[in-house]
Amino acid sequence: MDFIGANILSVSQFERADIDRIFEVADTMGPYARREKVTRVLEGAILGNMFLEPSTRTRLSFGAAFNLLGGTVRETVGITASAMAKGESLYDTARVLSGYSDVICMRHPQSGSVAEFAAASRVPVVNGGDGANEHPTQALLDLYTIRKELAGNGRALDDFRIAMIGDLKHGRTVHSLCKLLCLFKKVHLTFVSPPELAMPQALVEQLRAVGHTVEVTDHLENSIAQVDIVYSTRIQEERFSSQEEANLYRGRFRLNREIFTRHAQPNTVIMHPLPRDSRAEANELDTDLNEHPSLAIFRQTDNGLLVRMALFALLLGVEDQVDDYSYPV
Ligand code: CP
């Protein structure tokens, strides 16, 4: 794809070569993310960060990534802080904000809303999560992490096994990740969820159509025994019609040190898109794994910075000039 000026709305827009290119650029961003070098390649550019649903890492890492490339960030956080609370449309908001920005990142509670916004925008728009639909940059950083972690174990993206656990119906990160995995070969996926929160059948069929094997189960311990990656997710309580309904499922699958040690291979990698729900009634990924070397959740968040820096550089066409505008710290 031609990255310059493109919207990033869904992982379905990528081909394998595009993923390779994003990861190649992300690999060059380490010295800047680690503050060993400074670059001013995006000096004068403005990121409009519009987050109309709660976020910690996506919003802050988009902002930090843009700052680390030398650009400036302007933010709107929460619908009540925007004129949408007064009835302003996505169209008008996009026309206005795109006059103030060189690129816009947006999170919105409704599926398809970011695409509607992007259609009216005069600058590239990156989807930071639209309802239960997609979270493309999370999938990119997840895949980038899987690639790095597998390499550490002598494995590769074209032949690995992953168990996805939790609310697979509402979890946009797993939806985007599954679509991305269709670009690779020989992936074995195990979906672990209550039947009511199963991975959408269309995605299961899409994975099988490209030759991947898919197992569906509600048994946690068996599912983690023979996999390279365990990808835990939270029950997305904000997508349920009531808290009571969400409570039926919270705490159903809990991964902790005892279960992991007893059932998984020692070098199995533990991932989670975060936030994990650490309240006692949920606790899908226990803090007693915090110091376990297999726990990759904070390597994931660090990788998010590299991947988002790479995307900004590609969308604004400066990926080959980052070093030209750099100096050592
Ligand atoms: N993974 C993720 O989207 O986290 P935030 O909701 O904190 O952005």
211 CA distance to ligand 1 middle (Å): 31
The rounded distance, in Å, linking the Cα atoms of 224 and 220 is 7
Examine the domain organization and report whether 69 and 174 are in the same domain: no
To the query of whether residue 86 is one of the catalytic residues in this protein, the response is yes
Examine the domain organization and report whether 141 and 80 are in the same domain: no
Examine the domain organization and report whether 227 and 202 are in the same domain: yes
**Matching residue, tokens 């390597």:** 299
What is this structure's pTM? Answer: 0.96
Q: Which residues pair with 191 in a beta bridge?
A: 164, 216
To the query of whether residue 57 is one of the catalytic residues in this protein, the response is yes
Query: Does a structural domain hold residue 90?
Result: yes
Query: Does a structural domain hold residue 1?
Result: no
116 Cα distance to chain centroid: 20
- The DSSP line for 224-238 is TTT-SEEEE----GG
**Matching residue, tokens 């074995």:** 188
How many beta carbons lie within 10 A of that of residue 326, not counting itself? 15
128 CA distance to ligand 1 middle (Å): 9
CATH number for the domain that contains residue 248: 3.40.50.1370
273 CB under 6 A from ligand 1? yes
Examine the domain organization and report whether 249 and 121 are in the same domain: no
From 57, 95, 148, 257, active-site residue:
57
- Reported as a single tens digit per residue, the pLDDT across 68-110 is 999 999 999 999 999 999 999 999 999 999 999 999 999 999 9
Examine the domain organization and report whether 82 and 168 are in the same domain: no
From 59, 107, 169, 308, active-site residue:
107
Query: Does a structural domain hold residue 5?
Result: no
138 CB under 6 A from ligand 1? yes
Examine the domain organization and report whether 289 and 321 are in the same domain: no
Return the half-sphere exposure (C-beta side, CA atoms, 13 A cut-off) of residue 88: 16
Confidence (pLDDT) at 189: 98
Tell me which residue range forms the domain holding 236: 136-301
Query: Does a structural domain hold residue 233?
Result: yes
Single-letter amino acid code for the residue at 33: A
Examine the domain organization and report whether 157 and 247 are in the same domain: yes
Confidence (pLDDT) at 245: 94
Contact 203, 179 (CB under 8 A): yes
* Number of domains observed in the structure of the chain: 2
Examine the domain organization and report whether 292 and 312 are in the same domain: no
To the query of whether residue 37 is one of the catalytic residues in this protein, the response is no
To the query of whether residue 34 is one of the catalytic residues in this protein, the response is no
Examine the domain organization and report whether 183 and 39 are in the same domain: no
To the query of whether residue 148 is one of the catalytic residues in this protein, the response is no
Query: Does a structural domain hold residue 37?
Result: yes
Tokens of 59: 């919003």
Q: What is the pLDDT along the chain (329 residues), one digit of tens a residue?
A: 999 999 999 999 999 999 999 999 999 999 999 999 999 999 999 999 999 999 999 999 999 999 999 999 999 999 999 999 999 999 999 999 999 999 999 999 999 999 999 999 999 999 999 998 999 999 999 999 999 999 998 999 999 999 999 999 999 999 999 999 999 999 999 999 999 999 999 999 999 999 999 999 999 999 999 999 999 999 999 899 999 999 999 999 999 999 999 999 999 999 999 999 999 999 999 999 999 999 999 999 999 999 999 999 999 999 999 999 999 88
Question: Which of 138, 140, 284, 301 has most ligand 1 atoms within 8 Å of its beta carbon, as the pocket-test mutant?
Answer: 138
Examine the domain organization and report whether 238 and 319 are in the same domain: no
Examine the domain organization and report whether 288 and 308 are in the same domain: no
171 CB under 6 A from ligand 1? no
275 CB under 6 A from ligand 1? yes
Question: Which of 49, 50, 57 has most ligand 1 atoms within 8 Å of its beta carbon, as the pocket-test mutant?
Answer: 57
Confidence (pLDDT) at 132: 87
Contact 73, 142 (CB under 8 A): no
57 CB under 6 A from ligand 1? yes
Query: Does a structural domain hold residue 246?
Result: yes
Q: Which ipTM was obtained for this model? A: 0.99
Examine the domain organization and report whether 49 and 119 are in the same domain: yes
Q: Whose CA is nearest to atom 5 of ligand 1?
A: 55
Confidence (pLDDT) at 222: 94
Query: Does a structural domain hold residue 259?
Result: yes
